[in-house]
Structure 1
Amino acid sequence: MFSGASSVNLDSKGRIAMPTRYRELLRVESEGKFVITVDIQSTCLLLYPIHEWHKIEAKLLLLSDTQQTERALKRLLLGHAHECEMDGNGRLLLPQTLRKYAGLEKHAMLVGQLNKFELWDESAWQQLIDESKQAITNENLASSERLSDFSL
């Protein structure tokens, strides 16, 4: 499972280097293959190891092609889905359309989210962190049944 936030840079060709600590696991579990797509709730990209993407595909297959919201979800996730593979140096090439969607320039943050990664523009990530800290400060975690076990 993936966790932690890593600073990564995009090179002139739009590639990022996967942090070394994940490479071997990703090569073993998914042969270094990924599907990259958009996050429908945030301006970041989602990077799924191929075996995890197959689970998403199975869920999407169950959605309706006639119900407007379900069709829109499928259209966004599948329409932007791009399969790629880590090269010998552990790099992934990000398509221009996806880099544009997430506002990715040079500096980015790769954030482990258990079964996938999020890829954020570095400044957008910092802004999200600041907003998240403020939201947690303003929220009484004990009042939320699901979050009450997370008091540290």
Structure 2
Amino acid sequence: MFRGSATLNLDSKGRLAVPTRHRDFLQSYCGGRLILTADPSKCLLLYPLPDWEPIEKKLNSLSSFNPQTRSLQRLLVGNANDVELDSAGRILVPTSLRQFAGLEKSVVLAGQGNKFEVWDEEKWNQQNAEALVFRDGGMPPELEGFSL
């Protein structure tokens, strides 16, 4: 389970160092083999390969005759890149994905259970500010009765 966030820097070659606390697990769980892809929120999703494969299979099994489904298949599967942790615990973020998410130097790696989200730091801070206020003034029905 990935949780918490870390602010990191992309190096001049577009490499991102995965925090040390996650490296050993990723090496033992998936041999450091990961999938990095685009997300509709304009961030990137980073999955261990075993967790990505059923998602990709399900996406590819959906009908491509539905325009919304086809668009999501194009975005998620069409932008999926195999990346691997190098000996220094870094992954190379492909140029096309860096451009998609607006990643330049300072990025946030946010744990989201079975995956990470990779955000431009400024966009991440904006997302957090927006999360403090429900846009329509009401709480989503699935959160009714939820307590922290």
Q: Could you state the TM-score of these two structures normalised by the residue count of structure 1?
A: 0.90
Unaligned runs of 5+ in 1: none
What amino acid maps onto 1:51 in structure 2? Answer: P
Please give the alpha-carbon distance, in whole angstroms, between the structure 1 residues aligned to 2:94 and 2:131.
29
Shift of 1:66: 2.2
1:48 match: secondary structure: strand
Residue 64 of structure 1 is matched in structure 2 by: 63
Return closer, same or farther for 1:67/1:140 CA change in 2, 3 Å cut-off: closer
Please give the alpha-carbon distance, in whole angstroms, between the structure 2 residues aligned to 1:94 and 1:46.
11
Residue 31 of structure 1 is matched in structure 2 by: 31
Alignment of 1:11-30 (within 5 A): 11-30=11-30
Please give the alpha-carbon distance, in whole angstroms, between the structure 2 residues aligned to 1:89 and 1:76.
30
- 1:67-114 CA distances to partner (integer Å, 9 max, x unpaired)? 222222111111111101000110000001100110001100000010
Residue 112 of structure 1 is matched in structure 2 by: 111
Please give the alpha-carbon distance, in whole angstroms, between the structure 1 residues aligned to 2:147 and 2:66.
40
Please give the alpha-carbon distance, in whole angstroms, between the structure 1 residues aligned to 2:139 and 2:96.
40
- 1:5-44 CA distances to partner (integer Å, 9 max, x unpaired)? 111110000000000110011111111011111002x110
Please give the alpha-carbon distance, in whole angstroms, between the structure 2 residues aligned to 1:149 and 1:28.
39
Question: Aligned pairs, how many?
Answer: 147
Instruction: Say which structure is richer in helix.
Output: 1
Alignment of 1:34-113 (within 5 A): 34-40=34-40, 42-113=41-112
What amino acid maps onto 2:21 in structure 1? Answer: R
Shift of 1:150: 3.4
Shift of 1:149: 4.7
Please give the alpha-carbon distance, in whole angstroms, between the structure 1 residues aligned to 2:127 and 2:134.
10
Unaligned runs of 5+ in 2: none
2:78 match: secondary structure: helix
Q: Could you state the TM-score of these two structures normalised by the residue count of structure 2?
A: 0.93
1:89 match: secondary structure: coil
Percent of aligned positions with the same letter in both sequences? 48
Shift of 1:135: 2.3
What amino acid maps onto 2:103 in structure 1? Answer: L
